[in-house]
């Protein structure tokens, strides 16, 4: 739909539902069609997606955001918002239909079986293909390209990937750091992974960047990362980029 037509449609609908004192703007979002800015009293529409969507989809997006404005900031997508959406003729669904046109991300992930996903931002975590397995599997990890070209991932991503590879090679490794019985696969993945730190341990972040050298306390141990409390902040760091602080 042309932006001028969409603006007229949205303005007419907003005025009809008592939002004549609210502003209307277009933004450059590519992952959501609209937004309700309570503080600014503005309804914002994605210009790229508006151009792709037909009048019915644009109208539903506008009414969706109007329902947010009428229901209030605490309503979220809960019962009050759904009731308001139905009352003004909007679909009471949180997202657009799956078959609505979308803008593909420039990051393309391909699993070993050829299944694909796309992202608009550089992936920061290692993920595996859910079509191959509902849970995480190291042998179904996506490999990424950007605009069709292979790209080296950042240090934190590479460290997480290496940590997963070591864990896959030594599935019995636990807090003691020892490998389970059977032949070693260290020739493929290197030495056995270091001992995992227990919750409550003090640890130093060895990764580069803002948190380099910071010391925190392990408050949670995830599948591939520690959650460290550093002062008032909680930072997630791959196992391989943390070292224990003793004493």
pLDDT digits (tens, 9 = 90+) for 118-132: 998 899 888 889 999
* Structural domain contains residue 70: yes
pTM (predicted TM-score):
0.58
Q: At what angle do helices 3-16 and 55-71 cross, to 10 degrees?
A: 40
233-238 and 225-230: which strand pairing? Answer: antiparallel
Find the CATH number of the domain harbouring 219. Answer: 2.30.30.30
Lowest mean pLDDT among 41-55, 109-123, 222-236: 222-236
User: Does 99 fall in a domain?
Assistant: no
Within-domain flag for 26:
yes
Domain membership flag for residue 80 = yes
Among 31, 57, 88, identify where a domain stops.
Answer: 88
pLDDT for 192 equals: 39
Looking at per-residue pLDDT, the higher value among 141 and 161 belongs to 141
Structural domain containing residue 16: 3-88
Question: Based on the domain organization, do 84 and 112 belong to the same domain?
Answer: no
- Rounded Cα distance between 156 and 137, Å, is 19
In a domain, 213, yes or no: yes
Question: 147-200 pLDDT, tens per residue?
Answer: 999 888 888 888 888 877 766 655 544 333 333 333 322 222 333 345 678 899
- 101 belongs to a structural domain: no
Same domain, 135 and 204: no
**44 and 10 share one domain:** yes
In tens, the pLDDT along 39-64 reads 999 999 999 999 999 999 999 999 99
Are 113 and 149 part of one and the same domain?
yes
The answer to whether the CB of 25 falls within 8 A of the CB of 44 is yes
Q: Which residue has the tokens 């002062």?
A: 231
- Determine the Cα angle at 245 with ends 156 and 165, to 5°: 35
Q: Which of 31, 59, 88 is the last residue of a domain?
A: 88
Same domain, 234 and 196: yes
Q: 170 and 240: one domain? A: yes
Alpha-carbon gap, residue 102 to 33, rounded angstroms: 9
pLDDT at 12 over 70: yes
Which CATH number do you get for residue 25?
A: 3.30.2010.10
Distance CA(198)–CA(42), nearest Å, equals 48
On whether residue 102 sits in a domain, the answer given is no
Q: Do the domain assignments include residue 69?
A: yes
Q: Are residues 121 and 75 in the same domain?
A: no
Structural domain count, the chain: 3
Judge if 83 and 120 occupy the same domain.
Answer: no
CB 240 within 8 A of CB 156: no
Where a domain ends, among 33, 59, 88?
Answer: 88
Q: Which residues pair with 218 in a beta bridge?
A: 228
Contact between 214 and 220 (Cβ < 8 Å): no
- Tell whether 116 and 76 lie within a shared domain: no
């Amino acid at each position: 739909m042309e932006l001028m037509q969409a603006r007229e449609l949205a303005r007419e609908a907003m005025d009809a539902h008592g939002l004549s004192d609210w502003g209307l703007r277009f933004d450059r979002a590519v992952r959501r069609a609209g937004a309700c800015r309570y503080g600014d009293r503005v309804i914002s529409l994605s210009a790229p997606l508006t151009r792709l969507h037909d009048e019915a989809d644009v109208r539903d997006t506008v009414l969706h955001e109007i329902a947010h404005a009428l229901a209030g900031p605490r309503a979220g997508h809960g019962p009050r918002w759904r009731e308001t959406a139905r009352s003004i003729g909007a679909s009471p669904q949180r997202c657009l239909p799956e078959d609505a046109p979308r803008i593909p991300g420039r990051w393309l992930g391909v699993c070993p079986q050829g299944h694909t996903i796309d992202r608009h931002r550089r992936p920061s975590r290692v993920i595996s293909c859910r079509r191959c397995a509902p849970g995480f599997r190291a042998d179904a990890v996506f490999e990424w390209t950007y605009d069709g070209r292979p790209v080296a991932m950042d240090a934190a991503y590479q460290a997480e990937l290496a940590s997963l590879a070591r864990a896959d090679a030594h599935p019995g490794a636990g807090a003691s750091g020892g490998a389970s019985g059977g032949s070693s696969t260290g020739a493929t993945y290197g030495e056995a992974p270091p001992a995992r730190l227990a919750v409550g341990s003090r640890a130093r972040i060895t990764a580069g960047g803002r948190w380099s050298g910071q010391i925190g306390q392990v408050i949670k141990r995830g599948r591939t990362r520690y959650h460290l409390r550093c002062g008032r902040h909680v930072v997630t760091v791959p196992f391989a980029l943390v070292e224990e602080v003793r004493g």
